[in-house]
Amino acid sequence: MSSERKYFGTDGIRGAVGTYPITAEFMLRLGWAAGKVLAREGGGKVVIGKDTRISGYMFESALEAGLSAAGVDIALLGPMPTPAIAYLTQTLHAQAGIVISASHNPFCDNGIKFFSASGRKLPDAVEQAIEAELERPMTTVPSKDLGKAERVTDVDGRYIEYCKSTFPNGATLRGFRIVVDCANGATYKVAPSVFDELGAEVVSVGVKPDGLNINADCGATQPENLRAEVLKHGADLGVALDGDGDRVIMVDHRGEVVDGDEILYIIARNLYDLGELRGAVVGTLMSNLGLEVALGELGLTMERTKVGDRYIIERLEDTGWSLGGESSGHIICRDRTTTGDGIVAALQVLAAMVRTGKALAELKSGMSKFPQTMINVRLEQRLDVVGLPAVASGVRQVEADLGTEGRVLLRLSGTEPLVRVMVEGRHAPIVRAAAESLAGIVEQAIAAGP
């Protein structure tokens, strides 16, 4: 990412509602600035979707007003998953798509993501042009040129059919009982319908959004809720999505959580067995060593990128490879989607279950995860923590203690004011103790300052 960027991070613009730039005034100007840039590049309508946060109404109206003032037409899609906006931007032949969401964050946060006409994240150059426009005085086009807005009403059905189309032709989910946790978020209407229409018996939870309960004790970031429901209903598996639907975490029939690394392994192995896997599997610096080892045993290569689905997608597109993902549950099936899609990824796991006749617990058993501990240390201001002498010394010591059977990673979160301290190795007690020791060193170094 460019150091010149003022607002856009690795995943759009995100923060606490009411704190600049996550304000109605800024969103008005952002809509106008984006509209000015898009108008210069050829015009065309912009689609806007959102998750279920109460602040989404406010920001939707502000963006709509700004785009209209710039002379750009708007199609309002209402609550829809982030990957659905990427898909619908293409199928509605829009010039761009805007998602109002803070993904897995609590309701008091919100954010903005943009998609290009191809359903991919905006190029850096376009984001930089929007930021440059934000520094200029806002103007309004003549009244006859103002953008018009319409509300599109058939988008749920379009996206449901698209998701179903990624499941093998002729295959069915009849006989499966699946718990689907929609995190009281953007998938609350579409996700249960997808699995139901493919034949599964669906138990729906997290499908009563009230504007305040998105991601609250449910969804992909809180899989304990899903685990309890799977065991309660005697389900074959559970699927937990996050607030905007681009992440998925699963639970097997025994109540054991299946994370993004394990999901990635299951999909990669299935595609490999079918002869449909192209190139290396792309993970991140946070991907578990066990995934790399398990793929290696199949003769497959794993390549790591920086943390963030943006970087995975860029690598897949640069190479033409077909599959990548993150431990958190962002899974990109590039032969089916242009971005992370929790519903589509879950369907690919189910496709492997149907093809092999194996339970989810059996499919994931081909990979053994190395114990991994991650501790988040809060930052009050941006700071090059890794470059602090005390921290660098602490990292060297932990790496020496772990030897060749472990690794250490310190990184700044791209979406929250946190330093993530991760330690991984073969022996859980040693890993935990090392992570706690290193997190303590980081806290002391931050308190002492640069």
- Which of 103, 193, 204, 327 does the annotation list as catalytic? 103
User: Number of structural domains, the chain?
Assistant: 3
264-310 pLDDT, tens digit each:
999 999 999 999 999 999 999 989 989 998 999 999 999 999 988 98
Query: Does residue 7 belong to any structural domain of this protein?
Result: no
Domain boundary among 128, 153, 178: 153
Q: How far is CA 115 from CA 221, 225, 241, in A?
A: 24, 32, 21
* Reported confidence tier of residue 4, pLDDT bands at 50, 70, 90: low
Distance CA 303, CA 280 (A): 7
Quick one: 216 and 333 in the same domain?
A: yes
* Reported confidence tier of residue 231, pLDDT bands at 50, 70, 90: very high
Residue 286, C-beta contacts closer than 8 angstroms, at least 6 positions apart: 307, 326, 327, 328, 374, 409, 420, 422
377-419 pLDDT, tens digit each:
998 777 788 888 999 999 999 999 988 788 899 988 866 788 9
**103 catalytically annotated:** yes
Return the CA Rg of the chain: 22
- The pLDDT score that the predictor gives to residue 2 is 41
Quick one: 301 and 218 in the same domain?
A: yes
**237-241 vs 248-252, strand pairing mode:** antiparallel
Q: How far is CA 351 from CA 119, 198, 344, in A?
A: 25, 11, 10
Distance CA 440, CA 377 (A): 9
Taken as a whole, the chain contains a residue count of: 450
Structure tokens at 172: 């069915």
Domain boundary among 121, 153, 185: 153
Q: What is the pTM of this model?
A: 0.90
Q: How far is CA 298 from CA 268, 280, 287, 324, 370, in A?
A: 10, 12, 17, 16, 18
For the chain, the helix, strand and coil percentages under 3-state DSSP, each to the nearest 5: 40, 20, 40
26-71 pLDDT, tens digit each:
999 999 999 999 998 877 899 999 999 999 999 999 999 999 999 9
Quick one: 232 and 345 in the same domain?
A: yes
Quick one: 63 and 141 in the same domain?
A: yes
Quick one: 146 and 165 in the same domain?
A: no
